[in-house]
Amino acid sequence: MDAGQRALLRAYFEEYLIDCDDLINVTTAARMLGYSQSAIVKWCVTGRCKAFLVSGKYLIPKICLIDYLMSAEAMCICQKSFRHEILLKEFLDSMK
pLDDT at 2 over 90: no
Residues 28-85: tens digit of each pLDDT: 999 999 999 999 999 999 999 999 999 999 999 999 999 999 999 999 999 999 999 9
Q: Which domains does the chain have, with CATH numbers?
A: 3-90 (1.10.10)
Q: Which residue has the higher pLDDT, 6 or 96?
A: 6
Angle at 27 between CA 61 and CA 33, to 5 degrees: 75
Q: How much is the pTM?
A: 0.93
Instruction: For 35-74, give one letter per residue: b (16+ CB within 10 A) or e.
Output: beeebbbebbeeeebebeeeeeebbbbbebbbebbbeeeb
Q: Sorting pLDDT into bands at 50, 70 and 90, what band is 93? A: very high
> What is the pLDDT, as a whole number, of residue 66?
98
